[in-house]
Amino acid sequence: MRVSEEELRRRTIRRSDFVSCNQAFIDCRTPGSDRKENYSMIGPGVTQSADQVVNLREAHGFNIGAAAMPNGITNNLHLHFTAEVFLCFRGEFLLRWGADGRDGELVLREGDIASLPTWIFRGFTNIGPDDGWLFTALGHDDTGGIIWGPSVLREAEGHGLYLTADNTLVDTVAGDERPPEDELVKPMTGEQIAGLRSYTPEQMRSKIATPEDLVWSREPFLDSRLPGGGAELALVIGYGMTEDPEQEPRIFKPHGHNIAWLRAEPGQGVRAHRHERTQVLMVKEGEWEVTLNLHDEVSVRLGPWDLLSVPAGAWRALRNVGEGTASMVVVNGGDGRVRLDWDDEVVKAAADEGVAIDHDGYLAPYALVPRPIG
């Protein structure tokens, strides 16, 4: 597949392109929760507002969004039907979970990635600076929305806000008509809440990958020893696209997507390859150049917090064009491994270095891997 300049621009989401919505959820007028900002970059996520700006609506098999709020502001207790992953790019957030938020608490700091189990209530408060920032990755295209705690729904009614069964926010203060009772979301009963799973702080800690938890592979790819290659990979959720046979993720449970950190020194990166999964690149630090296509190449430079959606099947190469170490989060669709198809030049150069890909998709000695004769 060939990606045009126009298509590359459409799929590039700059930090300056992010558009917040402060009425995305039913608790938007609840004191202490009324200054939240919600963002939807890839897919609508779980927003309940028809006014939410979505930068790229194309289905990816997952959704990417963000939450931002000043110090002291809280996102109230709610639960998700699909995986919710927090990627803390700045600040500190106090995460709490359980029906009343008292099952446990943990603090998320810059660089942490946390996977929240489905079907448990969770909420969080910004306990750091006002510019704290959480990206979110949600499993699947249709997330099913969310379920709010009963007290959140009751308090919202006092501010003229209602939620219909199809996850639509109704604002009677703004002139919307209050829907009939049988069209509104019914609060969960005490018996239903009692049937939810519970997690200890120790169990939840195992679902968080801090920078100290990361295990970096120095040779995750076929091009790791080649000029222009050399990027390092740390798996967080799922096996993703590693070709290192010894590398394992911190979190194994299927999410509908996989997540890994990628970093490179200046001039290094990942040489031309492709695969059949949707992919989103989320820059954390540094300057990256991403080049698509083997012929008629098109390129874009990405800075901190810029996102790029790479279509399935497209050739792509990544390179650190900054002055220091550059890092990004790589999100691929699907629960299985992502098998890479390398440019022939990479395959030949790796063979000269004595490295090949075996029939299981992992790095192996070139001399020992069977090859077709002729």
CB 259 within 8 A of CB 240: yes
- Report whether pLDDT(22) > 80: no
Structure confidence at residue 153 (pLDDT): 86
Q: For a pLDDT cut of 90, what percent of the chain falls above it? A: 78
pLDDT band at 312 (very low <50, low <70, confident <90, very high): very high
10 Å CB burial of residue 266 (0-12, 13-18, 19+) is middle
Structure confidence at residue 251 (pLDDT): 97
pLDDT band at 34 (very low <50, low <70, confident <90, very high): confident
pLDDT band at 135 (very low <50, low <70, confident <90, very high): very high
Q: Name 186's Cβ contacts closer than 8 Å, sequence gap at least 6.
A: none
- Report whether pLDDT(203) > 80: yes
Structure confidence at residue 350 (pLDDT): 98
Q: Is the pTM of this model over 0.85?
A: yes
The predicted model gives 20-27 an average pLDDT of 73
Q: How far apart are CA 249 and CA 332, in angstroms?
A: 14
Q: How far apart are CA 7 and CA 345, in angstroms?
A: 26
How many other β-carbons are positioned within 10 Å of the β-carbon of residue 311? 17
- Report whether pLDDT(149) > 70: yes
The predicted model gives 83-92 an average pLDDT of 97
Q: pLDDT tens, 246-269?
A: 999 999 999 999 999 999 999 999
The predicted model gives 264-280 an average pLDDT of 98
DSSP letters spanning 44-113 = -TT---TT--EEE-S--SEEEEEEE--TT-EEEEEEESS-EEEEEEESEEEEEESTTS-SEEEEEETT-E
CB 45 within 8 A of CB 85: no
pLDDT band at 311 (very low <50, low <70, confident <90, very high): very high
Q: pLDDT tens, 315-338?
A: 999 999 999 999 999 999 999 999
- Report whether pLDDT(98) > 80: yes
Structure confidence at residue 30 (pLDDT): 76
Structure confidence at residue 277 (pLDDT): 97
Task: Name the residue with tokens 């295990």.
Answer: 215
The predicted model gives 295-323 an average pLDDT of 98
10 Å CB burial of residue 289 (0-12, 13-18, 19+) is middle
pLDDT band at 374 (very low <50, low <70, confident <90, very high): low
Domains of the chain, each with CATH number or no CATH: 15-209 (2.60.120.10), 214-368 (2.60.120.10)
Q: Which of 43-52, 131-140, 186-195, 321-330 has the lowest mean pLDDT?
A: 43-52
Structure confidence at residue 24 (pLDDT): 58
